[in-house]
Every structure is written in C-alpha cells, then in structure tokens.
A and B are shown apart, each in its own frame.
Chain A
Amino acid sequence: MKLFLYFSQIIGLDIIDSQGNWAGRLADIVMNPYADIYPKASELIIRRGSFPREYARINWDDVIYIEDNIRLKISGDQLKFSQGMPKCDFTLRRDILDQQVVDIDDQRVVRVNDIHLLRVENQLYAAHVDVGLRGIFRRLEWTGAVDLIVSLFNAKSTYLTNEELIPWKATQILPKLGRMKSVLKLEVSKNKLSSIPPAALADIIQGLDIFARASVFKSMDAALQNKVFTDMTLIYKAELIDQLREDEVANLITNIPADEATDLLMKLPREKVHHLMGLLGSETNKKLRKLLSFAKDSAGGLMTTEYLYLKSTATVADAFQKIKENTNFPGTIFFLYIVGDDHKYLGTTSLRRFINEDPQTPLLNTCYPENIHVYTDDSVEQVALLLERYKSSSIPVLNHQDILQGIITIDDVLEELISLVWHKYKEKL
C-alpha cells in the first residue's frame, strides 16, 4: 500500500460493494477541515449513470480500501442515490482542484493542478497541493509519454523529478462567490494569511479577482486590515471600498494614517466623500477636512496631522512618557515637536538627541539648532530639497502665523516624487 497517492489517480475509480457488485464511480471526497493540521476525508461522493446522473454519499468508515478500485463494507442497496450533487461544506474536487489558492511561503496566487493525499492508518489526509507542470500532464494522463520525450532529450532534466508541491499548512484557499457568501469558510480552514507581511499580502490581494479581493480582505482582523489597506495602491483601495459596507469603510479611514486617507478621499467622487465624511467621528472629520483643503502637490497636501507634540515646559522625562504611551501611534514616534501657546511652533527634537540626557532637562534644550520648517503652500520640490540638505527624515509644516499644522515624513515625499518622475518618464516615451 502506497503512503502517498494523487487525487487524479483515484477520481473515477470503480466502487465495489460488499457483494462484489459495481456500485458506481468516485466523484468527489468530502473533507473535514477541523480534524487535524491536515483536512481528513470524511465521506466519499459516488456517481452513476449519465441521463440522469445520480449521486450518493458513503461514510468513510464504510470503506475497506482504496487500491485499483474502492471496496465497501456495505452492500449497494444501502446507498441512497439522488439527482444533483449533494450539498457539502468542503470537498476536494469542487473546492480545491483547479481552483486558485494562496501559497503562503512564496506569497503568490497559484492554481491547483492536483492534490497529494496521505494515507495513514486507513485515514486519508490532504497533505499537499500540486501546482507544477507534472501535475498538469498527470491530469491529462500524459506523464509516461512526456517523461519519455523529455528523457530522450535530457535524461537529467529537472522536470522529471521536480514536483511542485505546497504543504497544506502553507495553503490558503480562497472564497468562491455564491457558494461561500460569508467569510465563515476562511475561518474554518484557519486563516493562514496573517503570517504574510502586510506589503506582500497587499500585492497578493491586488492580484485576485474583485470579489475574492473583498472576501479575503474581510476575513482578516481589523489591525491587519488597516496595515494591508495602507499598503495597497490607490486604485485598488478605491475599488475595494466599493465592495465594503459603509461602516467598514469609515473604520478603515479612521484607522489608516491621515495622509493616506486624504489621498484616497481625493480620488473618490465628491458626493461619496460628502457621504463618508458624515460617517466619520468628529475628530477624524476635522483632521481630514483640513488636509483635503490643501493643494495635492503642496506641503499642506502632503503632510499628515499625526505627530507627537509637547508643551514648551515639558522635560525629557515627559518626552519618554509620551513615547511610551504612543507605541501604537500610526505616525512617527521618534520625532517630537514642541509648541507654545496657540500651538505656535518652537522646535523639533528626536529620541536620538535626548535619550542620554538627564530626565529633568527641559526638552526645549535638546532641540535641533537649525530651525527647519516649510509652509503649507510650499512645493514638494522645496520639501525634498530641505530634507536632503539637512539629512532629515521629517519636517514640520507651519502656516504663515507659524502655527504647527502637521509634518511631512520622507516616505510621503518619495511617493510623490516617484509619481512625478514616472509622469516625466512616460512623457518621454
């Protein structure tokens, strides 16, 4: 008895009942995803006839063996055949074979060509999915011929030995429309996506079809959603929120960095923005309204209003306290801004500058000597020049009354410059 077998090799096998009579052919295998690390076979689905085609379910305990045919403990009369595929939660042929799955290790979406099954103590487990070329030829029943031809040309060809198998635990099945309207299914099969870094996950999601995108996204927890959403390209963000409920959208907009939220809102039709703004909390609403009023390519349009600031009377100890309280802060926590009355900007300091200072030292004494800042109507180029000249990674943005409005970090500038460069490059073409 072989330890491993391929699903393509057993699908369609004859099923023989306890009296030795033919009962039908194997149509599908129902799996129990809760069982172990690997889903375990719980029932066989057997088919017979063509017009009409009938199906019946067989409990796994009634199966004696699977070899050249499948032998049952029960007699054929005990099988209840009916027309139409029986409704099951999770089956190999319908839900895995030929479908797209996410390969967690290589962080890509692949199509399943075959399923590698493991047989232990008369139980059948789905161990790997096969995504390689050999799997395609095995399905077409050409393995022998293709192997012969390849070995004639190159006996050491990697094709002959190279099985592209992905372990089940590194495979995330994707929800299908209609059948799995809820995201329940993903939770059942354990959501393995969370082990992928958010940026890579954002890439994977963008590669899926529009509905799978929404279902996969909804299956993630809120914290992961925020990170992945932040990392998605603007066009995909706009497409995705069309598929989400309003409260979900409002939550996302509240929890992603304010400058990213502003970029997204600028991309949307005006009516939709009005509507969304109404759903946001008053604080987020005020913050975003301010950011939205600046020109897109000005310092005001680039800046985020998420920064840590302290009063002019604060000490180094207060600064440490502030950082400790804000480890989950969406913006930078390494730079602190000191403001006077009316939020007038006084100076910038960083963790690097005060980490070795005495806790009682006034924080104002640790500020950078150069007072660098930009105004809300300054251009992106000016911001980039200043950041480069002072080798800094962030810069405060003031209005003309020297009131601190927000800050710009270097990644925001890069994003803007890349798109500028890209436009110039495209014009040249």
Chain B
Amino acid sequence: MSFWQKAKENKVLKNILIFLAMLGPGVITGSVDNDAGGITTYSVAAATYGYPILWTLLPSFIVLLVVQEMNMRMGACTGKGLADLIRESFGIKVTFWIFLGLLIADIGNTATEFAGVAGSMNIFGISKYISVPLTAGAVWILVTKGNYKISERIFLLFSVCLLSYVVSAVAAKPDWHQVGLAFVHPQIQYDKDYLIMVLGIVGTTIAPWMQFYMQSAVIEKGTTMEDYKLALADVIIGCVATVAVAIFIMVACAATLHVNNVTINEAKDAALALKPFAGALASAVFAFGLFVASIFSATILPLATSFYICEAFGFNAGIDKRVEDAPQFYALFASIMVIACVIILIPNAPLIAITLWTQDINAMLLPVVLISMQLMVNNPEIMGEHVNNRVQNIIGWSTTVILIVLTLMLLVIPTLDLIKAH
C-alpha cells in the first residue's frame, strides 16, 4: 500500500489532506496583499511611530476577513466571477468604468511591484536593468507555460517565503512586552500625519482588485457551498497569515529604526537601515522577503486584471488557453507587464507620484466595488438562500461605510492641505 493510500485510510490524516487540498485561494490572496506597497507602508509606519501603531492591524484583519468571506461565499454560491456578476447585475456602463479604473490602477500597482524587485535586488548589488527584465521574463514563462495547479503550488511556496520576516523580526530583538501592550492598550494620536498613516495601513490591506482575484480563485478551485467550512478556514488562515507577516515587518522596523530615530521613505531603505542594528542576515532576509513579495504580486496582478476584464466583456480568458484562443487576454497581460516595466526602467521615473495616484484611484474604486458586492450578496436572485444574514449585514455594511469614510478622508485631507497652503 502506498503512502497516499495509507494516508487516505487514516481519518485524521485524511481530514488534513482534504484541508490542504482546499487551501489556496484565501492564503494566496492574503499573501499577495503583503506586496511591495504593503511592505513599504508597514515599514515606514513602524519606523516613524514605533510599536504603538501596531493596533491598526486589528481593524485591518476584521475588514479583510469580512470582505474575503463575502467573495468566497459569492464564488461558491454562484460559480461566477465578480466581474461576471457585476456585468449581469448592473449592466455594461458601470462595468466599463469600474474596469477602466482597475486597469489604470493595476498598471500603476504592477509598476510598484517591479520597483520592489528593482529595490531589493539593488541591495544585493544587481542593477535594475538586469533584474527587472529577467523577472518579467520569468513571470511570462510561468504564466504562459504553466497551468493553474503548478502556478498555485509556486504561489503557495512564495507565501511560505514571506515567513522570512519572522527571522528579521526576531533578529531585531524587539521588546515583546511592548508589542503585546500595543494591542491591548492602543494609544491613538490625533494629528493629521498619524491619521493618514492609519488610513494607509488599512487601505493597503484591502485593494479593490483583490476581491476580483479572490472570487476567481475560488471558482477555479471548484469550491461550492458544500465546502464552505473548509473554504472559510482557508480564508481565516489567509487573513491571519497576512496580518502576522505585517506584524513581523512592523516589529522588525519598530525595534530597530524607530528606537534609533531612523526615518525611511521606502521598503528598500528599511532593509538597508536594518544592517547596523540587526545584522547583515536580518537585512538580507528582509530584502529577500521584499523581492519574493514583489515578484509574487507582479505575477498575480496583471494576470488577475486581464482575466476579469475579459470575463466581463465576454472574451476568452485563462492561463490554460493558448495565445491564439485568447488573444485579448494575452494582449492585455503583455501590455500591463510591458508598460509597468518601461515605467520602472525610465531613469528618474516619478515613482512616488505614480504610487500616490495609484492609491487614489484604488481609493475611489473601493466604495463602488464594495457597494456592488453588498447589493449582490443581499440579492436572493443571485445568492439564493445564502444571502447575508442580519449579523453578516451589520458587519458587512459597517465595514463598507467605515472604509468609504476612511478613503474619502484619505482623498480629502491632501486637498485641504493644498487649500490651506494657499
């Protein structure tokens, strides 16, 4: 009897196997969440404000969990992608504007990811003119030659690599007592910069494209409502892992950079600044984590974007299709990659401006996507008996409203500053 057969006979082992097979969409989506932009926000926040700002990860966790659970349920219940559902429920005009916004935002996002690749490789002494084209080539091969199963395994491997931040955090010898205290007794400051930072952390945890990706991944996995409990476990583990990684990143930066009053602007700076305080290993591991996160998101972002645009407008899509069978899909994918790479390779590209604009577009899209989701998840014609119950609705709507208020503030505050300055 082979190992697998033996394993299948054993009840406990069998349940673990079934669970591992269900693992995927939630964990991957959660890990993509900690992309170059996320790592930048976390490290800058922790370097500036130290341990006390850690509490913001708690509301981020709840928001992430609520939204991902809804996506998982919608996917499992309808078998349709979010793009499909929006097109079918709200018509082509709404769909068109949402996707135009998403396309632009995701080109910007992808550029940020390649900036992460360039930055982290720079620490190891590799020029961006070598690292960026090579990475883009590798991503292209993975996507065109691979299939969903292979890609998913590689992605899960990536997720495990993100645990490297644990090493960085431990090497930084943080004051764990203070870390715990930050969660139990959150200390909130009421100045403008602090508020923007808090908004930034919550905002980076929940980007509009993630909802589309999550739901498509659930469908591709073939999850139905019968697997709800296992899929929910996957979502929870994904969210916990995401927030745990974020905690370690912030702890690493807070324990070294904040304590020694070093301020930084980029994730790359954090990796460099760690060296004198936490040692060369911690620094290298931090840079490696940044590289993995960037390449990971640089693969999934363009892929997901092309996928849901094709889905909504009725073109063939999917990495299991040949280029001739899905020309629009591959054309979109290639253009996003090429534009993003070119932006990074231009000497003195205005990276910070691109990042800010991307965040603004994301912030404007998020309310639209979230409200659409809330309306659909409450529509019995779409969800049948699995519409939101009262508790889910209270959590769902308050999350939506809070996020909308937060993103509006994020948009309004810089404008007010401009007016004041004049």
Which residues of A are interface residues toward B (Cβ below 8 A)?
A: 97-100, 110-111, 113, 131, 136, 139-140, 176-179, 181, 209-212, 239, 242, 270, 429
Contact = CB atoms under 8 A, between A and B. Distances in A.
A177 B78 CA distance: 7
B101 interface: no
Interface of B: 8, 77-80, 84, 87-88, 91-93, 96, 145, 219, 222, 224, 226, 313-314, 380-384
Contacts of B224: 210, 242
A136 B313 contact: yes
Given A111-B87, A177-B382, A178-B384, A209 B93 contact: no
Given A140-B96, A177-B384, A210-B79, 4 more contacts: A100-B314, A139-B93, A210-B224, A242-B226
A140 B219 CA distance: 29
Contact of B381 (A131, A140, A179): A179
A356 B320 CA distance: 51
Contacts of A209: 78-80, 84, 219
19 contacts: A97-B91, A98-B88, A98-B91, A98-B92, A139-B93, A140-B92, A140-B96, A177-B77, A178-B380, A178-B381, A181-B384, A209-B79, A209-B84, A209-B219, A210-B219, A210-B224, A239-B222, A270-B8, A429-B145
B92 A211 contact: no
Contacts, number: 52
B88 A99 contact: yes
Nearest to B315: A111
Contacts of A111: 87, 313-314
A145 to B, nearest CB: 14
Nearest to A269: B8
A111 B381 CA distance: 19
B149 to A, nearest CB: 11
A60 to B, nearest CB: 24
Nearest to A270: B8
Given A98-B88, A98-B91, A99-B88, A178 B382 contact: yes
Contacts of A242: 224, 226
Contacts of B313: 111, 136
Nearest to A142: B96
B381 A113 contact: no
Contacts of A177: 77-79, 382, 384
Contacts of A131: 314
Contacts of B84: 209
A287 B91 CA distance: 53
Contact of B222 (A176, A179, A210, A212): A210
A242 B223 CA distance: 12
A181 B380 CA distance: 12
Contacts of A239: 222
A110 B93 contact: no
B105 to A, nearest CB: 20
B223 to A, nearest CB: 9
Contacts of A176: 381
Nearest to A238: B222
A140 B87 CA distance: 13
A311 B8 CA distance: 46
A110 B314 contact: yes
8 closest A-B pairs by beta carbon, nearest first, are A111-B314, A209-B79, A210-B79, A178-B384, A139-B92, A211-B79, A178-B381, A179-B381
A265 B196 CA distance: 58
A99 B224 CA distance: 21
A210 B384 CA distance: 15
Contacts of A99: 88
Contacts of A429: 145
Nearest to A85: B381
A334 B381 CA distance: 52
B325 to A, nearest CB: 11
Contacts of B91: 97-98, 139
B78 A140 contact: no
A192 B8 CA distance: 44
Contacts of B314: 100, 110-111, 113, 131
Nearest to A176: B381
A405 B243 CA distance: 61
A233 B69 CA distance: 31
Nearest to A138: B92
B208 to A, nearest CB: 21
Contacts of B79: 177, 209-212
B195 to A, nearest CB: 32
A33 B84 CA distance: 25
Contacts of A136: 92, 313
Nearest to B386: A178
Contacts of B96: 140
Contacts of A179: 381
Contacts of B8: 270
Contacts of B93: 139-140
A6 B380 CA distance: 30
B88 A211 contact: no
Contacts of B77: 177
A178 B382 CA distance: 6
Nearest to B222: A239
Contact of B78 (A97, A100, A181, A211): A211
A100 B80 CA distance: 11
A113 B384 CA distance: 26
